C-alpha cells in the first residue's frame, strides 16, 4: 500500500488473527505486537486514564465504557520487511460470530492461553473453527509474570483437549515474580529480560546468554536455575521435533511463553512467528482454488461496519484481497448483484485513523466506501465471474421482538436495524402477517445490549425489546418444508429471514429433535444456506 515506503506486490504479507478466551490478554498482546512492529511508539499512549483502559483497536464508545472488544478491527504493522495484517477480533464469547467470520480472512492464527487457566471454553470453539479451515495455529502462553500452572501440564491439556501436538520452541525460566526470561531452543540462548518501571509501555531490553553460560546460576539464583535445567533436559529428551510442514498442515502448534503485560517474550515470539506464518494462501471458490498468482483481481467481503467515523456517519466494507492487484477507483464485478461497481475511497484503517491507499495485493485487507451495496460474503472480481466459498452465518441462540419506543422515529429505527443486519451484528426475521414488528436473533445475550445502545447512540432511536423463549433457529429445505406444514404441527415459530427463506425457531433441543424425527425428508440447517 502506498502509505508504506517500498511496499508493493513483492513485499511479503502475513495475515493472521488472535484467538482466545476473554481475559486471556488478547487486547494487550495486540497492542504489544503493534509496539514492537513500530505501529505505535508507546503502549497505552492512546488509552484513557488508568481507571478505564481500552486498546488501540477499540473504537466504539460502548467498548470503551465496558473495557471489552466487541467488534473486529483490522490493524497493520511492518516488521523486518514484511507487512503484517492483524485481524483483531472480539474476545467476549457473545460476539463470537464476528470472530468466526473474521477467521475466514486469516491465513494463520495465534492461540493465546492464560498460564493459570489453560484451555477455556471460547478457545475450544475458536480452535475448532480454525481446524475446519485448516488454519495453522501458533500458541502463546501468556501471563507468566503471575503464578500459573506447570508448563508441562499446560502442554498436555492442549494436546488432550484440542487434539494437536505441542512443540515448545521456547521454555520459560521461572514463573510469577521469579519469571526471568525464556530459553530459545533453536538458538540455544537464554533471553533474560530487564523489568521496566513503566507498566509495559515501552519495549524491554533482553540480555542473551548461552544456555551453558556459567553466569546464569548467579544471575537467576541457583535453585531456580537447577529446576530450569531439569525441565529443559526433560523437554529435549521427550519432546517432538518441530516441523514447519506439520505446523502449516495443522498437525502441530509451536508454543511460546511470555507476558504481554510486561513485554517479556513478545518480541522473540514475533521474530519467530514472522518466519513461521504462511504467506497468503489460495482460496476455494466455485471454480476451484484461486491462486494468489492469478492475474485477475479477486476479493471477498468479510466485514461491514457503520459509523466508525461519527462525524460522517460512514459505512465501510472490509475486503480481503486474494489475487491480482487492487487499484483505488477500479471497476470490478459484484457477483451477487451481477453488475460492475467502482471501489472508491480505499483506505487502511487503524482504529479511528484512516489512510487512503492506491493499491493492495494478495493478503492485504482494506476498507472501501459502502453505499449500501455490500454484504458479508460478497465476491468481487475482474475476469470470469465466480463466487468464493460462503462466509458462514451461524444460528442465533437468543431472540427478541423489537419495536421503536417512539413511533414517530420509526424511520430512524428501520435505518438502524437495517444497518446492523448488514453488518452481521444481528439477524433479522419476520413473521408473515406481522412484518412491522421484526424478530432479531443474536448469538450472545450481550449483543442485545449493544443493539439497544447503538440504535439510541447512532440513530436516535430508543427501542423496546421483548425477549422470546426460542433458543434454536434452523433453515429448512426439502419435501414438506413449508410454513403451514411445519408451524401447523406446533414444532415452533415459522419465520422468514431477510432473503425470504423459511426458518423455524425452536424452544429446545428436544423440540428440534422431534421435528427432525417426524420430517425425515426435511433438512434442518444450523448455518444459513448461500
> pLDDT band at 71, cuts 50/70/90?
very low
Q: Residue 2 domain-assigned?
A: no
> pLDDT band at 309, cuts 50/70/90?
low
Q: Residue 19 domain-assigned?
A: yes
> Which is higher by pLDDT, 102 or 110?
110
Question: What's the CA gap between 110 and 97, in Å, rounded?
Answer: 18
Q: Residue 392 domain-assigned?
A: no
Question: What's the CA gap between 118 and 130, in Å, rounded?
Answer: 18
> pLDDT band at 96, cuts 50/70/90?
low
- Helical pair 222-238 and 151-162, crossing angle rounded to 10 deg: 30
Residue with cell 529446576: 227
Question: What's the CA gap between 54 and 379, in Å, rounded?
Answer: 34
264-287: average pLDDT: 94
Task: Copy the grid coordinates of residue 407.
Answer: 413511533
Q: Residue 1 domain-assigned?
A: no
230 and 329 housed in the same domain: no
226 and 138 housed in the same domain: yes
Q: Which long-range contacts (CB under 8 A, 24 or more apart) does 351-355 make?
A: 351/46, 351/56, 351/57, 351/58, 351/59, 351/73, 351/75, 352/59, 352/308, 352/309, 354/309, 355/1, 355/3
67 and 209 housed in the same domain: yes
Give the pLDDT of residue 27. Answer: 83
261 and 292 housed in the same domain: no
Mean pLDDT of the chain: 85
Q: What is the pLDDT of residues 497-506, one digit of tens each?
A: 988 899 999 9
Is 80 exceeded by the pLDDT of residue 204? no
The answer to whether residues 278 and 363 touch, using CB atoms and an 8 Å cutoff, is: no
The answer to whether residues 455 and 463 touch, using CB atoms and an 8 Å cutoff, is: yes
Q: Minimum mean pLDDT among 188-192, 199-203, 378-382: which range?
A: 199-203
CATH number, domain with residue 514: 3.30.70.3280
Q: Residue 393 domain-assigned?
A: no
- Which range has highest mean pLDDT (19-23, 392-396, 401-405)? 401-405
209-231: average pLDDT: 94
> Which is higher by pLDDT, 179 or 48?
179
CATH number, domain with residue 192: 3.40.50.300
219 and 301 housed in the same domain: no
> pLDDT band at 64, cuts 50/70/90?
low
> Which is higher by pLDDT, 174 or 421?
174
> pLDDT band at 440, cuts 50/70/90?
very high
Q: What is the pLDDT of residues 234-259, one digit of tens each?
A: 998 877 899 999 999 999 999 999 99
Task: Copy the grid coordinates of residue 174.
Answer: 521461572
> pLDDT band at 90, cuts 50/70/90?
low
Please return the burial class of 339, using the count of CB atoms within 10 Å of its CB with bins 0-12, 13-18 and 19+.
exposed
Region for residue 479 given its phi and psi (left: phi exceeds 0; alpha: psi -120 to 50; beta: otherwise): beta
215 and 316 housed in the same domain: no
- Helix or strand run (H / E) with residue 411: helix 410-423
60 and 141 housed in the same domain: yes
- Looking at 356, 381, 406, the residue that finishes a domain is 381
Give the pLDDT of residue 94. Answer: 44
Q: What is the 3-state secondary structure (H, E, C) of 470-526?
A: CCEEEEEEECCCCHHHHHCCCCCEEEEECCCCEEEEECCHHHHHHHHHHCCCEEEEC
Q: Minimum mean pLDDT among 62-66, 156-160, 479-483, 519-523: which range?
A: 62-66
- Looking at 217, 248, 276, the residue that finishes a domain is 276
Structural domain boundaries, residue 298: 283-381
Q: How many domains are contained in the chain?
A: 3
- Helix or strand run (H / E) with residue 165: strand 165-168
Question: What's the CA gap between 486 and 492, in Å, rounded?
Answer: 8
145 and 290 housed in the same domain: no
Give the pLDDT of residue 67. Answer: 45
Question: What's the CA gap between 449 and 382, in Å, rounded?
Answer: 41
161 and 229 housed in the same domain: yes
Q: Minimum mean pLDDT among 21-35, 46-60, 145-159: which range?
A: 46-60
Question: What's the CA gap between 505 and 133, in Å, rounded?
Answer: 28
Question: What's the CA gap between 475 and 493, in Å, rounded?
Answer: 12
Is 80 exceeded by the pLDDT of residue 321? yes
Q: What is the pLDDT of residues 323-364, one digit of tens each?
A: 999 998 999 999 999 999 999 888 876 555 677 888 999 999
Is 70 exceeded by the pLDDT of residue 196? no
What is the arrangement of strands in the sheet containing 298-306, beginning at the earlier edge strand? 339-342, 331-334, 379-381, 298-306, 315-323, 365-369, 347-350, 353-356
369 and 407 housed in the same domain: no
Q: Residue 139 domain-assigned?
A: yes
- Helix or strand run (H / E) with residue 172: strand 170-173
Q: What is the pLDDT of residues 3-23, one digit of tens each?
A: 444 456 678 999 999 988 888
* CA distance between the termini of the chain: 32
Q: Measured in whole angstroms, how far is the alpha carbon of residue 423 from the centre of its chain?
A: 15
Q: Minimum mean pLDDT among 32-46, 75-89, 487-501: which range?
A: 32-46
Q: Residue 67 domain-assigned?
A: yes
416-435: average pLDDT: 85
> pLDDT band at 445, cuts 50/70/90?
confident
306-316: average pLDDT: 65
288 and 271 housed in the same domain: no
- Helix or strand run (H / E) with residue 303: strand 298-306
Question: What's the CA gap between 55 and 248, in Å, rounded?
Answer: 30
Q: Which residues pair with 327 in a beta bridge?
A: 359
337 and 414 housed in the same domain: no
Q: Residue 388 domain-assigned?
A: no
CATH number, domain with residue 308: 2.40.30.10
- Looking at 276, 299, 321, the residue that finishes a domain is 276
Is 60 exceeded by the pLDDT of residue 306? yes
Amino acid at each position: 500500500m502506498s502509505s508504506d515506503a517500498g511496499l508493493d506486490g513483492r513485499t511479503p504479507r502475513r495475515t493472521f488473527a488472535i484467538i482466545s478466551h476473554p481475559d486471556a490478554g488478547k487486547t494487550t498482546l495486540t497492542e504489544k505486537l503493534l509496539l514492537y512492529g513500530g505501529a505505535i511508539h508507546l503502549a497505552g499512549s492512546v488509552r484513557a486514564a488508568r481507571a478505564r483502559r481500552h486498546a488501540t483497536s477499540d473504537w466504539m464508545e460502548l467498548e470503551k465504557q465496558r473495557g471489552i472488544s466487541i467488534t473486529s478491527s483490522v490493524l497493520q504493522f511492518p516488521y523486518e520487511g514484511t507487512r503484517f495484517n492483524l485481524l483483531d477480533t472480539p474476545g467476549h464469547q457473545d460476539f463470537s460470530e464476528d470472530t468466526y467470520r473474521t477467521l475466514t480472512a486469516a491465513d494463520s492464527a495465534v492461540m493465546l492461553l492464560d498460564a493459570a487457566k489453560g484451555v477455556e471454553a471460547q478457545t475450544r470453539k475458536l480452535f475448532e473453527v480454525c481446524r475446519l479451515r485448516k488454519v495453522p495455529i501458533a500458541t502463546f502462553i501468556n501471563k507468566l509474570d503471575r503464578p500459573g500452572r506447570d508448563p508441562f501440564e499446560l502442554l498436555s491439556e492442549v494436546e488432550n483437549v484440542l487434539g494437536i501436538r505441542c512443540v515448545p520452541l521456547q521454555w520459560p525460566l521461572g514463573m510469577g515474580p521469579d519469571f526471568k526470561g525464556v530459553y530459545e531452543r533453536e538458538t540455544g540462548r537464554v533471553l533474560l529480560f530487564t523489568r521496566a518501571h513503566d507498566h509495559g509501555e515501552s519495549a524491554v531490553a533482553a540480555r542473551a546468554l548461552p544456555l551453558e553460560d556459567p553466569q546464569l546460576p548467579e544471575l537467576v539464583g541457583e535453585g531456580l536455575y537447577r529446576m530450569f535445567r531439569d525441565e529443559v533436559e526433560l523437554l529435549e529428551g521427550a519432546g517432538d521435533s518441530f516441523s514447519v510442514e506439520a505446523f502449516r498442515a495443522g498437525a502441530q502448534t509451536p508454543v511460546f511463553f511470555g507476558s504481554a503485560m510486561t513485554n517479556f517474550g513478545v518480541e522473540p515470539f514475533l521474530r519467530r512467528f514472522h518466519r513461521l506464518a504462511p504467506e497468503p494462501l489460495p482460496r476455494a471458490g466455485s471454480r476451484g482454488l484461486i491462486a494468489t498468482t492469478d492475474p485477475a483481481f479477486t476479493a471477498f467481503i468479510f466485514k461491514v461496519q457503520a459509523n466508525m467515523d461519527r462525524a460522517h456517519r460512514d459505512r465501510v466494507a472490509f475486503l480481503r484481497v486474494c489475487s491480482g492487484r487492487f487499484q483505488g477507483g477500479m471497476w470490478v464485478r459484484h457477483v451477487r448483484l451481477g453488475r460492475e461497481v467502482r471501489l472508491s475511497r480505499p483506505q487502511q484503517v487503524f482504529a479511528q485513523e484512516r489512510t487512503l491507499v492506491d493499491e493492495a495485493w494478495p493478503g492485504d485487507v482494506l476498507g472501501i466506501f459502502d453505499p449500501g451495496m455490500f454484504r458479508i460474503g460478497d465476491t468481487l472480481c475482474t475476469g470470469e465471474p465466480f463466487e468464493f466459498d460462503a462466509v458462514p452465518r451461524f444460528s442465533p441462540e437468543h431472540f427478541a421482538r423489537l419495536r421503536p419506543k417512539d413511533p414517530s422515529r420509526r424511520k430512524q429505527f428501520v435505518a438502524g436495524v437495517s444497518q446492523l443486519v448488514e453488518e452481521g451484528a444481528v439477524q433479522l426475521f419476520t413473521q408473515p402477517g406481522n412484518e412491522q414488528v421484526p424478530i432479531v436473533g443474536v448469538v450472545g445475550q450481550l449483543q442485545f445490549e449493544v443493539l439497544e445502545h447503538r440504535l439510541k447512540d447512532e440513530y436516535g432511536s430508543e427501542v423496546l425489546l421483548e425477549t422470546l423463549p426460542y433458543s434454536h433457529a434452523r433453515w429448512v429445505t426439502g419435501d414438506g418444508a413449508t410454513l403451514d406444514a411445519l408451524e401447523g404441527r406446533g414444532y415452533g415459530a415459522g419465520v422468514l429471514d431477510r432473503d425470504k427463506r423459511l426458518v423455524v425457531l425452536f424452544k429446545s433441543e428436544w423440540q428440534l429433535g422431534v421435528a427432525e424425527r417426524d420430517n425425515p425428508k426435511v433438512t434442518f440447517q444450523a448455518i444459513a444456506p448461500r
